[in-house]
Amino acid sequence: MHANFEKMKKISAFILLCACLVTLNAQTEPAKADTTKGKKVSEIADRPLVVRDRLIFDIYHTFWMGTPSQGNFMKFDPGFNVSALWDFILPQNKSISFGLGVGFTYYTQYSNCVAQYVRKDDVTRYFILPEDLKYKYSRVSYMNVNIPIEMRYRHRCGFKIDFGVHVGLVAGFAQRYKGPSFLGDEEDFLNFKNRDFYNKQKFSADVFIRMGWKSFGVYYSYQLTKVFDSGKGPNMSPMSLGISIALF
């Protein structure tokens, strides 16, 4: 478990470093001389947009598909995605571009269940907590690092639309519980985080779309891959809806 935690720390540090490098490169492009003097308004209007969406934050609520039917998963599950991309403008049409970079995605799942890895069966199961148990929360965290690949359209009025895929590696799956013991002795108070889940899929892939105006928009994504290997856990995957903010 400690080794997995250290691996996640190294992956997160690598993503942060890549994001900083892409952002720094975007901010330190060489300044160009003002060549607008003496040109027609139509020529100036043909310039590419300044807002090219190189650092993007998506904040969303996740709807979990394929969860165990006995559990209560109708809760607010906030999450986020951060992507640092380079924008490749198509020479034939400056309104269309291709985005490529690195990203990190984080999902949460609140419910009345506790996910546990059953070693003797080599399977992950969700155990429903007793109805009369007054616990603070039971939360699953699911993370991946990815490569965002997207096509972009920008109109000079500010309207924009992106669509693409995130392809990456699953960085972690963890169960956090805080409340009275659910093992029979409610006198004991439990506060733990369990990362020992050995049958989650190694790779993740989702499709997404963003649409909005200038730096703001709405975001939708659907993960094509499941969280767990086939037959080794609930056949579930996340679908997210939220807002998007482009800083650069």
Q: How big is the CA angle at 241 (ends 239 and 243), to the nearest 5 degrees? A: 145
Residue 14 — pLDDT band, cuts 50, 70, 90? low
Average pLDDT rounded to a whole number, residues 116-144: 94
Percent of the chain with pLDDT over 70: 77
Q: Which residue has the tokens 């250290």?
A: 6
Query: How far is 247 from 216, CA to CA, in rounded Å?
Result: 9
Smallest CA-to-CA distance from 107 within 58, 69, 150, 164 is with 58
Q: Under 8 Å CB-to-CB from 19, ≥6 apart: which residues?
A: 55, 82, 84, 102
Query: How far is 110 from 30, CA to CA, in rounded Å?
Result: 47
SS3 26: helix
Query: How far is 45 from 37, CA to CA, in rounded Å?
Result: 13
At 203-222, the pLDDT tens digits run: 999 999 999 999 999 999 99
At 51-90, the pLDDT tens digits run: 467 899 999 999 999 999 999 998 999 999 999 999 888 8
CB 7 within 8 A of CB 15: no
Please say if the pLDDT value at position 223 is more than 70: yes
Average pLDDT rounded to a whole number, residues 153-173: 95
Please say if the pLDDT value at position 91 is more than 60: yes
Q: Under 8 Å CB-to-CB from 123, ≥6 apart: which residues?
A: 117, 199, 231, 232, 233
Query: How far is 156 from 171, CA to CA, in rounded Å?
Result: 38
Please say if the pLDDT value at position 100 is more than 80: yes
5-14, 81-90, 159-168, 215-224: least confident range: 5-14
Q: Which long-range contacts (CB under 8 A, 24 or more apart) does 85-88 make?
A: 85/22, 85/53, 85/54, 85/55, 85/56, 85/148, 85/150, 86/22, 86/25, 86/26, 86/54, 87/52, 87/53, 87/54, 87/152
pLDDT at 27: 42
As beta bridge partners, residue 226 has none
C-beta atoms surrounding 42 within 10 Å: 7
